[in-house]
Amino acid sequence: MDPLTIGVLGAAALVLCAVAGVRIAYAAALVGIVGLFILMGDPHAAIVAASTVPYNKSTSYELSVLPMFILIGYLAYYAGMTGTSFEAAKRWFGWLPGGLAIGTIFAVAAFSAVSGASTAAAAVFARVAIPEMLKAGYNRRLAAGAVAAGSTLDSLIPPSALLVVYGIIVEQSIGDLLVAGFVPGIISALVYCAIVVLRCKRNPALGKPITGYSWRQRWQSLPPTAPIWIVVVLIFTAMLFGWATPTEAGALGAFSTLLFAWRRGMSWRQFRGAMLEASKLTVMIFTIIWGVLIFVLFLGYANLPRAFAGWIEGLALHPLAVLLAIYAIYLVLGCFMDSIGMMLLTLPIVYPVIENLGYDPIWFGIIVVKLCGIGLLTPPVGLCAFVVNGVRPDIPLGDIFRGIWPFVLADIVTVALLTAFPEIVTFILTLKPR
């Protein structure tokens, strides 16, 4: 059997394992090692080749940015940044149709700028925002949908763990990716808000405006949010102007957030909890990366990525048609796989195609992460929807999934916008010193 056929069979075996519910890290590592053994004909050589992956990636400087960004999010929660951002957003945007939902989206966007995990944002704002919306008479589907959809902004707005993973896989500048994600993240939030306004104007019963806040009360809500903006400015400007590497910027952000958390009275128990939660999530992500990169090594030996890219090129399709087909693949896979596993599974095969077609790799990274964000919402896997349900079991999972569909439509509009105008993503990189 030739190596290419073995590679195709290995890819099919991994997809079957994923559909069957086997965790992607273990399935990928197992298929990768077995595939290497078949290709090399020597179990010892296969195990030695596979064993180099965890060590090489664990000692990679680029990967050290992940725990820093994840830690920022958990420290920000204990520093009280979530409550202050929601209160400020409520006072400033509550007067709009569906104002509390809009305030929630902007508050999650602000929190996303100091957090690296969408699930953490979903859990936090399910506790903070949903009770406020339900108390104000908001439709529970809209309330749950706004929190679940808003939490996916975490995947775009830096610091973003998914952008870091993308940069590691395709060997692109993590700093450029994180800087490029900022504007698309804000645009996504604005499109979400537009959807909320349109729906609540058509049906005011979904979410009535919240009035009664004076201008003085609005301005008074801003100073408590200062820690968020200080951390955001530190991280963003340090990476944009090249004053610090992404890892150094992440460490600076984590240290700053820790100081704010201590200033607000974070206890030793809370500090320990933040460190443990950050460690657990980091280990989970590292394990997935190790397992799938063993599989990627097997694909490289089988020469499947380049063969697939050559096959696509031979079809002589219009580049946009190929791109739309790739979008469709991500939308389907997002219904069944987690974001990191999906990226690690597809990018080794898809990225060479994108390179051959001449698309900008930084722009494509933003698109992929946005598509992965849709996967965090869509059933049956929809991780953010499950997190919201876990925090608020009184809202049925079916209602949460019904509540997210307007936001999925908003995401498709955003992807279409970024595809039609890629300069939205790339223009900010022109400000970065080279």
Dump the DSSP string for 262-299.
Answer: HHTT--HHHHHHHHHHHHHHHHHHHHHHHHHHHHHHHH
Q: What is the pLDDT of residues 271-289, one digit of tens each?
A: 888 888 888 877 877 777 7
Alpha-carbon distance of 299 to 294, in angstroms, equals 9
- Residue 84: per-residue pLDDT: 81
pLDDT at 418: 94
For 75, the 3-state DSSP assignment is helix
Residue 146 lies in a domain: yes
Contact (CB, 8 A) for 139 and 156: no
CA 67/CA 278 separation, integer angstroms:
7
Identity of the residue numbered 256: S
Q: Which tokens hold the place of 268?
A: 């030793």
- Give CA–CA dist 137/103, Å, rounded: 15
Q: Does some domain include residue 15?
A: no
The mean-pLDDT minimum among 57-71, 77-91, 195-209, 242-256 falls in 57-71
Distance CA 29, CA 44 (A): 15
Q: What is the predicted pLDDT for the residue at 93?
A: 87
Domain of 161, in residue numbers: 62-266+303-431
Residue 57, in any domain of the structure? no
Q: pLDDT (tens digit, 9 = 90+) per residue, 130-178? A: 888 888 888 999 999 999 998 888 888 877 878 888 888 888 888 888 8
Evaluate if residue 433 carries a pLDDT over 70: no
pLDDT number for residue 120: 73
Tell me which of 57 and 125 has the higher pLDDT: 125
In a domain, 386, yes or no: yes
pLDDT recorded at residue 367: 94
- The reported pLDDT for the residue numbered 199 is 92
Kindly state whether residue 4 falls inside one of the protein's structural domains: no
pLDDT of 328 over the 80 cut: yes
Residue 405 pLDDT: 92
Residue type, 48: V
pTM of the model: 0.81
Average per-residue pLDDT for the chain: 83
**How is residue 353 written in tokens?**
């195609």
pLDDT band at 434; cut points 50, 70, 90: low
Q: How many domains would you assign to the chain?
A: 1
Say if 215 falls within a structural domain. Answer: yes
**Residue 61 in this model has a pLDDT that exceeds 70:** no
- CB neighbours of residue 270 within 10 Å: 16
Note the maximum CA span of the chain.
75
**Is there a domain that residue 420 lies in?**
yes
**Residue 20 counted as domain residue:** no
